[in-house]
Amino acid sequence: MFSTVEEAIEDLKTGKLIIVTDDEDRENEGDLVGLADLADADMVNFMATHGRGLICMPIDAERAARLDLAPMVGRTTDPLGTAFTVSVDHQSSTTGISAFERAATINALMDDRSTADEFIRPGHLFPLVAKPGGVLVRPGHTEAAVDLARLAGHRPGSVICEIMEEDGTMARLPSLRNTAEKHGLKMLTIRQLIEYRRMHDPLVTREAEAALPTEFGSFRAIGYTERLTGREHIALVMGDIEAAEPVPVRIHSECMTGDVFGSRRCDCGPQLHEALRQISHAGRGILLYMRQEGRGIGLMNKLKAYSLQEAGLDTVEANERLGFPDDLRNYAPAAGILHDLGIDSIILMTNNPRKIAALESAGIRIAGRAPIETGRCPENERYMKTKAEKLGHLLHI
């Protein structure tokens, strides 16, 4: 029923459309996908006629920024986080809605010579911004479409349209299969693309490995470089991680103030040491030390957030005052490291349900959760309460 990723890419290269489906527990939909580089009025008209959904244009963040394609809303309430920008028409358009004019808008958006002032806002073409890292970070049609364009050797941009039935309901399998057979279209799942990228286009590269004796026992230290950002991460591995039982894993985000200097403003340092103790006691396990300081905002911004906290804000309010989300961390590279280590099922040492959800979406099975509550003190009481009440951490407050 489904083609291979390679077969789908070859069809895209010739200007053909393909159908990409996602999981039943997500949108459970199929989208028509074509390369934006090769878009024409026939492609747009086919999508409007046989797809019937909203015609959108997934692009990368760099192109969106260069063309000043700002988010459609300041704060999205879409549960799937689809990153719509303001809609546009090219300045040559009349109404902008015809297949010919929408194709012209697509072509102009993909033209590296185009400038932001060449587009009318709002319009009839809906750009979407894919997350860096693609389907390995977010398993959505937006990311899949941009990944496929890049894998096909084209610039990162595609055209997509949801497939609806004639009665207006969303098309599901096997109806999508019938559509594919009727029009001679290859069909692919996002899960296939994720597996393909893990094998051929991973987020991290293994760089070095060495023994690391510590006060908690002897580990193998394995160094990784994140391909998109150049960030360097480390996996500390103890014992037999290839056994059938799920592996105890702690994913610890860097905290220089807590881990190195013993800051009592947070519980990071005590959590790091407690995780190493628990792994040592079990005789097996993995600690991933991820270089994403300050919940992803960096060391200098974390210090600025500390200053705002001293003025009365809590940790979430301070991040938002600085223009950041409450938590900017990305766990896809951590999942990539676990996949490289051959791990797909873990006992996760965490109090953070967002971490669980992020790893599961990246293909890691969470067989169990081991709480890691430690490091409470008067100086971090408000911080701990904020983590529980605003960030959803599972703490006994």
Confidence of residue 24 (pLDDT cuts 50, 70, 90): low
Q: Specify the amino acid at residue 142.
A: T
Residue 31 catalytic? no
Specify the residue for token string 């004019």.
101
Is the preceding omega at residue 71 within 30 degrees of 0, hence cis? no
Strand segments (E) across the chain: 18-21, 30-35, 52-59, 88-90, 119-129, 158-163, 186-189, 204-214, 217-226, 232-238, 247-253, 285-290, 345-349, 365-370
43 Cβ neighbours under 8 A, 6+ residues apart: 15, 17, 34, 103, 159
Provide the edge-to-edge strand list for the sheet that holds 247-253: 204-214, 217-226, 232-238, 285-290, 247-253, 345-349, 365-370
E strand or H helix that includes residue 256: none
For residues 252 and 275, is the Cβ–Cβ distance under 8 A? yes
Q: CA–CA separation, 171 vs 207, rounded Å?
A: 45
Give the N- to C-terminal CA distance of the chain in Å, as an integer: 51
16 Cβ neighbours under 8 A, 6+ residues apart: 34, 185, 186
Strand-pairing partners, residue 28, are none
Q: Provide the percentage of residues in the chain whose pLDDT is more than 70.
A: 99
Point out the catalytic residue in the list 327, 365, 369, 382: 327
120 Cβ neighbours under 8 A, 6+ residues apart: 88, 89, 90, 91, 93, 96
Q: Specify the amino acid at residue 146.
A: V
What is the average pLDDT across 129-140?
90
Most confident of 22-36, 128-142, 210-224: 210-224
344 Cβ neighbours under 8 A, 6+ residues apart: 338, 363, 364, 365
Point out the catalytic residue in the list 329, 340, 365, 376: 329
Overall residue count recorded for the chain in this entry: 397
Asked whether residue 25 carries a pLDDT value surpassing 70, the answer given is no
pTM: 0.78
State whether the Cα torsion 198-233-335-276 is positive or negative.
positive
pLDDT value at residue 228: 85
Q: DSSP assignment of 109-174, as one string? A: HH-TT--GGGEEEEEEEEEEEPPTTGGGT--SHHHHHHHHHHHTTS-SBEEEEEEB-TTSSBP-TT
The string of pLDDT tens digits covering residues 228-266 is 889 999 999 999 998 889 999 999 999 999 999 999 999
The string of pLDDT tens digits covering residues 73-101 is 877 777 777 899 999 999 999 999 999 99
The string of pLDDT tens digits covering residues 159-172 is 999 999 999 999 99
pLDDT value at residue 142: 96
Residue 326 catalytic? no
Provide the edge-to-edge strand list for the sheet that holds 158-163: 88-90, 119-129, 52-59, 158-163, 30-35, 18-21, 186-189
Average per-residue pLDDT in the chain? Answer: 94
pLDDT value at residue 26: 57
Asked whether residue 269 carries a pLDDT value surpassing 80, the answer given is yes
The string of pLDDT tens digits covering residues 282-338 is 999 999 999 999 999 999 999 999 999 999 999 999 999 999 989 999 999 999 999
Asked whether residue 349 carries a pLDDT value surpassing 80, the answer given is yes
Q: CA–CA separation, 306 vs 258, rounded Å?
A: 13
